[in-house]
Structure 1
Amino acid sequence: MFVVTVTYTAPLAEVDPWRPAHGDWLKDLISRRLLLAVGRQVPLVGGVYLAAKMPVEELDQLLATDPYVLNGVASHSVVEFEPLLVAPGLEDLKRHG
């Protein structure tokens, strides 16, 4: 499993036009369970994704298709981890880790 942080590399005024395409991209990956959770950082300087276990090369290829990255307004940072303990009701995360 991976934690991906997104950092805007451009002002929000340059990020905002790509937000609809980025949202569609996220919804597609969520529907395919490649991403398990997504959200905005607070304050709004980027986002955070929880990504399912996959070969790191596959994740890199997916992240390269992010409209934010394609349009040069954000970058990603990836940390791989293996969930060992989870809160009750979240046991499914260990299967995706």
Structure 2
Amino acid sequence: MFIVFLRFSANKAKAPDFIQGHKAWIQQGIKEGLFLIVGSLQPDQGGCIIANNIEKEALESRISEDPFVTENIVKAEVFEVTPSMTIENLQFLMAA
């Protein structure tokens, strides 16, 4: 499992020009079952994705296709997490 932080860069002002492509990129990751949770970093610092069922190299490659990344609107940081405990509803994460 991975936590991806997408922190705004100095090019944040360009975000409105690329938001539709960024949202489509997110929707594709959700549709494929790779992105479990997507949300905003507060206050207005960027975004966060919890990803699963993907290898780190494949995730990094996918992140490089995000329009916000290609246009240097955000800088991506990927952290790998090995879950050791969870609530019953999230037990599927333990097997990943």
Q: Tell me the TM-score normalised to structure 2 length.
A: 0.89
Structure 1: distance between partners of 2:11 and 2:60: 24
Structure 2: distance between partners of 1:12 and 1:72: 8
Structure 1: distance between partners of 2:80 and 2:95: 15
For this pair of structures, how many residues does the alignment match? 96
**2:35–2:52 Cα contact (<8 Å) kept:** yes
1:27 alignment counterpart:
27
Partner AA of 1:73 in structure 2:
I
Structure 1: gaps (5+ residues): none
Partner AA of 2:6 in structure 1:
V
Structure 2: distance between partners of 1:74 and 1:92: 30
Structure 2: gaps (5+ residues): none
Partner AA of 2:61 in structure 1:
Q
**1:8–1:15 Cα contact (<8 Å) kept:** no
Structure 1: distance between partners of 2:11 and 2:66: 17
Match of 2:28, SS?
Answer: helix
Shift of 1:12: 3.8
1:43 alignment counterpart:
43
Shift of 1:53: 3.8
1:95 alignment counterpart:
95
Identity %: 27
Q: Tell me the TM-score normalised to structure 1 length.
A: 0.88
